Structure 1
Amino acid sequence: MSILLQQVFFVIALSIAAFLVSKRVRRISSNIKLGKPVARFDNQPARLKAMLLIAFGQKKMFDRPLVGFMHFIIYAGFLLINIEVLEIILDGILGTHRLFAPILGASFYGFLISFFEFLAVGVIAVCVVFLIRRNVLKIDRFWKAEMTAWPRMDANLILTIEILLMIAILAMNAADSVLQSRGAEHYTQAGFFAFSAMIVPVFQNLGETTLIAIERIGWWFHILGIMGFALYVTYSKHLHIFLAFPNTYFSNLNPSGRFDNMAAVTKEVKLALGLMEDDGVDSGDVKFGAKEITDLTWKNLMDAYACTECGRCTSQCPANQTGRKL
């Protein structure tokens, strides 16, 4: 496929992905706005601190240090490796190859790619461990009734996709390294890639046409996978990757256990205790709980979209621990 044809195909694919993702984001946003108003715009410094500590800093994950560390590897890999996506997008639009290599210099660029590869290897290892935890060790909370079917398949699918995307990066870089060493046209000298170098011998004896095919397949698989993931995640529990930030920013800053009284209930209690006289004003129909989606606040709806479906709300519930059905 010629470079020009690849550019055209890439721009079309990127445009379609951007349209579909933005459409889903607007749909989710409009759904959240169906909720009742709730004041969560006060005390901005405290809210920003909560977001940085919990969403960005992964503070709560380290309540379980080992699992928290493994989750952090995937989180860091997702954030940092996707910096390279910016270069891939620009390469796809402009028809260039490793656009940042001449700008950053081969040594520093090679160091960055090696660091991304280190994270990629870490992500592969952790995803394998998480698949084993879910499907071989069968951690109890992952096998509760509410965690079967879609939640389990969703988690396994995402972990598998992440492994394949990371393998695509390593294979692409290894083939690219061989092509660079042979002085192949269009393949910029981009330095030494530490981890993909370990699998270079697998590609060393392949012909240039085959190597270009492997490199291009890896490149296209990775970027199309990212586009597909961006759309899929809007239907998945992994939407929490993005919603964790606004969700923690708008979290409840009141002390744990504190809740607001219902005016109608407060009035009835005071009347019963003789603390006030009946003013004759009918409180109207008082709703307890939620029957309709509009009975919830917009923050309740954001919580639902941001849920990680980890099963801990059930496994940590005192009533559930007695063996009673919720």
Structure 2
Amino acid sequence: MLAWATATWTSSCISFGPDSLPTEPPPLVAMEEPAAFHAEPDDEAARLALPAGSFSGVVLGEARASLDALLAEPEGLLVKAVVENSPADRAGLAEGDLIVAVERDGATSELVWPSEWRELELETPAGTVLALTLDRAGVEQRAELTLVPRVHPAGREAAPRLREELRVGVVVRAATEVEARALGLGPGGGAVVVGLTRESPWRALGVRYGDLIRGVDGAPIGHPEALLDAIRSAPDDAKLALELVRAGETLSLEAPLSRREHELHRVAVPILFDFERVRGESTTSVLLGLLRWRSTDAAWDVRILWLVRFGGGDADRLEEVDA
């Protein structure tokens, strides 16, 4: 008897002992991503017909690499590759350089997103000299790059798809080159809404699938990540000023933010009682499972004395009603 009690108590302590806690919130179960928005628009023919602009011969990416850096404002553009015998090659640019700023016609601009460089290539005539400020291994350097005519259109890049599930509940993708350039953004800029959770504050505001968000708080969106940065960094109870385009019409919205709901997950009294709710399923156990009740929105199950079980739930038909 003593051995049984000891084993029971040990089992109870193990069962009701502290569990590891999740470090990330669960996915939003009410997120909706319509199939019509899973793929990018088929606008390749229209893209190839656009003016090709100028050519620099440098392939750029984000400078942020670590997780901490991803949560901070980008600083400069990372040179990922330099095309051989290109203007960038002649200017002395090298893989790993950071382009911090560019001066054109006496005006200096700090670069944040690769789309800003592509916009510069498209808008600046061939023959223009760009004065670049570089960061090479922590040492500031200068370089001059002369743009030349682009012979062939740049290659098409897949539009990244990003999720925000803490304050808005939205899925966005980068605009295609055709979509972005129609709104005065560089290829890779803009954020197209392709998913919303049912309880999203933006859905209640009237944001729709397919809306193209061009700016937030007065700044153009050079990459969908810029929108997520604005959402993450906004104070509690703040609203974001969104500029979006829908069917050619520009709309301005003051978009509220929300936050995750909190709910009770576990109540436990060793041996006597245990209640747990995980991913829509609730389980209540009394006296080490002598009586156990489980339920979801669709079904329930009761177990008595560890052996006797019965349950029920939704049927595969609707109730009949009088017409």
Q: Which has the higher contact order (CA 8 A, sep 6+)?
A: 1
TM range (shorter): under 0.3
* TM-score (norm. length: structure 1): 0.20
Q: Which has the higher helix share?
A: 1
Higher strand share: 2
